[in-house]
Chains A and B, each alone.
Chain A
């Protein structure tokens, strides 16, 4: 890497630049071309059309190579031309034709606002080991070999679908080869560094051999999958593990110095960061190797150190913590978090292991599961997981209140509410099973399927039952808001008889106006989830376990099973914004609780009580995920005592089978100062859910609700 200097300025604006017009078409022209292609090919299968569309995109996309950059930028960034053109047409026609009988049912569910459905192509991780050891050309050769073997095995029983599948993989990987040729020519022309040109040639012809080539390979695959094939690459993998052999051998041979490695990584992370992608691109550290040793190695420390120096929030990082994760590595991460770098999350391997073994996965699969997205996990290299359904628990409580005012006891009310939870689970599963059968008709995934040994073996797309594990996840949103609402109904309607259910409804309709005293009383009531109080914690258990019993193990539409997650993504904010007031004291438009965290402002007994409440739930029932957000005041975690306490907090949660925990350490004074002088705090970030946001990008009301929570922890809770 002689003479290479990182040009931050250049990289920061790299993705705003659509690429040199000499190298390809504009995004608009590609979109236009895709629509023409769809018209021309309308009699072909969707699989074949997708493969041709991918080829078309690759043959025409712009390419940027530059001496200021060790990586390559492909000109589809941000536009996802396929997702903008063909995919919506196919989605629409699916509902209007194949699924037309279920449409009224779906519309009825949509109207309730309780359920949101998604065609989910955002939650897979490719088999990075295969991508690295084989490279593009090796993957292509393996696919061709698989096709031959498949044909030998099934002969004339090979269906048109099988044939199209293999053809589509071949077409896409051939397109990748042509693109690699173009990139290599461009690299020569643009005078990019000799090392870059050479690495690109190597990757065109075979698998990565050096540290730099390996990271470049990951980067190229990522761009092609996410932006041309429109299958999101939901993790770069545990880079410390996959890159380590290259690192060791390059250092040993003297081909690279540690300084070179730092610079390559810096360049890589700057590229990711400069995309400004709102949910962030993750990679993770640690976990346990197949042989039971810790993954954490010299490279883990080096990457984390470099990340710490950069002051960026994307990529976001997860640290997979096992019993044998070195304490000094954890402390290195905690120190970063403590200084405001809240884009780092801890995910517990013990919980994942128990959950997966209980669900029938092998010990090794459970130990080596990949972390992806915000904090989810799935079997490495063998899974296509989706999250087609989000259920809003608070809205189910509100609906129950509207159904009748004649519930003689709280138990009757609760029972009705639980019946509704079950009914919504059933109804939404029916709908999702209908459309998930056709995921590969909406967006077939030949590039991704080419990395999947199982897809190749079965001769079908990864999204058409091709993976070994094809599970779907249902996200339960706002569990604490729903629990607190039920607790307040129980207390004020049925225990103290302070108000009737009908009056309560009126108070909510009035958004608490005219009911200030009741509102204050409820806001101050400690009987909320997360305070280690028996009544609300039991309600939480009943509520989510009812859903779990209805969801876990149910068959989905893709040959897999449903699992449950207490995950809110950003919907706790967006859905909260359009939802009326709830009985827990939340005003209309305010956010719902996120993940399994407490409702902002409801924490009375501090973070340890919250963890105790949360751990009363059986975390192994939530194979999707089970993340907890914890706010800490800087004074609570200052000094060596503070670091020790933070580590203990995290380890206690994780060693008692908690799944994911992320900390926000901030000072209220700083946040308020940033509100008043946004210009001075452009980079101040807070973690909102699975991702970070810049403080000043939050709306005023979002900032306010964040401060409510912040102030609660400032009181020493």
Chain B
């Protein structure tokens, strides 16, 4: 049987996910639980029903196919308990308000979609990025897809949180041109607070990638008050200073809270802190530039 992946979205004309014009495929399932997660729909591996209330025209079609939906007093109500994400209601919904998030896709189909923009990759030096979620939770799919892309001359970038077994990296690295590696905190406690997990495996994987001379770009999501203290930045700088293949490229990512509505759409509790870190980025960049790193912002 052909290898299948489970994905949430395909974003064409992605320009900040590696060099050039890219297409980013978001795979579903993630081992971390970052409080600021901008793609909460990619956390769980299983398909989920997404409801975008603003698109609902109250036609009642969903209620005709499933008792979990009701139109009451001109309002669409939904009881998620027991929903199997079978997709019947989404199929009946004319407005796109209901959608199943998490579709299966074969390597061949993904390859076909992801190569459609080849001419843009060629003029821009771009390619394909796998993101998520954590793509390396689906290592077979990633490896096969990257191999096909790589063999047809398309640049491949892997956006990873790093919290997977090194074996998973090994499956994919032969066909990976660039690893975009998220660093959410060097201090284990800070990391645990932000993501729910320790960072031992993550930092070890990052060291190995460096040791093997893999092309790397570190991405640091910064949430005010959570992982952006002077201490946090100093520790990061010191960690990067020990890289064998320095200076490593680092991109500072400002957190925003525009994804809040996504939590509601999948009926998940909203964990996003309030606040935007854009204004702090230049100051942090300056702090970090004391260390041997190449700031990409």
Q: How far is the CA of A608 from the CA of B124 in the complex (A)?
A: 12
B292 to chain A, nearest CB (A): 21
Of all chain A residues, which has the CB nearest B14? A716
List the B side residues contacting A647 at CB < 8 Å: 124
Of B13, B116, B124, B297, the residue contacting A639 (CB under 8 A) is B297
Q: Are B13 and A606 in contact (CB under 8 A)?
A: yes
Q: Are B11 and A648 in contact (CB under 8 A)?
A: no
B61 to chain A, nearest CB (A): 8
Main secondary structure of the interface of A (DSSP, over half): helix
Q: How far is the CA of A717 from the CA of B23 in the complex (A)?
A: 12
Q: How far is the CA of A652 from the CA of B123 in the complex (A)?
A: 6
List the A side residues contacting B125 at CB < 8 Å: 644, 648
List the A side residues contacting B96 at CB < 8 Å: 524
Taking the complex as formed, is A623 at the interface, i.e. its CB lies under 8 A from any CB of chain B?
no
Main secondary structure of the interface of B (DSSP, over half): loop
Q: How far is the CA of A637 from the CA of B21 in the complex (A)?
A: 11
User: How many chain-B residues does the 8 Å CB contact rule pick out?
Assistant: 24
Taking the complex as formed, is A251 at the interface, i.e. its CB lies under 8 A from any CB of chain B?
no
Q: How far is the CA of A311 from the CA of B194 in the complex (A)?
A: 45
B189 to chain A, nearest CB (A): 33
Of A520, A645, A656, the residue contacting B13 (CB under 8 A) is A645
Taking the complex as formed, is B167 at the interface, i.e. its CB lies under 8 A from any CB of chain A?
no
Query: Beta-carbon contacts of B14-27 to A below 8 Å, as 1s and 0s?
Result: 01100111000000
Q: Are A516 and B12 in contact (CB under 8 A)?
A: no
In chain A, positions 594-640 with a C-beta closer than 8 Å to chain B are 605-609, 611-612, 636-637, 639
Known: A520-B95, A524-B96, A644-B20. A608 touches B15 (CB 8 A): no
Taking the complex as formed, is A549 at the interface, i.e. its CB lies under 8 A from any CB of chain B?
no
List the A side residues contacting B13 at CB < 8 Å: 606-608, 636, 645, 649, 716-717
Of all chain A residues, which has the CB nearest B18? A641
Known: A520-B57, A644-B124, A648-B125; 20 extra A-B contacts, CB below 8 A, are A516-B57, A517-B57, A520-B94, A532-B116, A606-B11, A606-B13, A608-B13, A641-B19, A642-B16, A644-B15, A644-B20, A645-B124, A647-B124, A648-B123, A648-B126, A649-B124, A652-B119, A652-B124, A655-B123, A656-B119
Chain A interface size band reads 20 to 34
Of A524, A641, A652, the residue contacting B15 (CB under 8 A) is A641
Q: How far is the CA of A611 from the CA of B123 in the complex (A)?
A: 14
Q: Are B12 and A608 in contact (CB under 8 A)?
A: yes
In chain B, positions 91-126 with a C-beta closer than 8 Å to chain A are 94-96, 116-117, 119-120, 122-126
Taking the complex as formed, is A29 at the interface, i.e. its CB lies under 8 A from any CB of chain B?
no
Of A520, A524, A648, A716, the residue contacting B120 (CB under 8 A) is A648
In chain A, positions 519-556 with a C-beta closer than 8 Å to chain B are 520-521, 524, 532
Q: How far is the CA of A652 from the CA of B119 in the complex (A)?
A: 7
List the B side residues contacting A644 at CB < 8 Å: 15, 19-20, 124-125
Taking the complex as formed, is A651 at the interface, i.e. its CB lies under 8 A from any CB of chain B?
yes
A322 to chain B, nearest CB (A): 15
List the A side residues contacting B11 at CB < 8 Å: 606, 716
Q: Which of A611, A645, A649, A717 has the most chain B CB atoms inside 10 A of its CB?
A: A645
Known: A609-B116, A639-B297. A645 touches B12 (CB 8 A): no
Of all chain A residues, which has the CB nearest B121? A648
A656 to chain B, nearest CB (A): 6
B157 to chain A, nearest CB (A): 13
Taking the complex as formed, is B59 at the interface, i.e. its CB lies under 8 A from any CB of chain A?
yes
Q: Are A648 and B59 in contact (CB under 8 A)?
A: no
List the A side residues contacting B12 at CB < 8 Å: 605-609, 717
In chain B, positions 10-60 with a C-beta closer than 8 Å to chain A are 11-13, 15-16, 19-21, 57, 59
A717 to chain B, nearest CB (A): 8
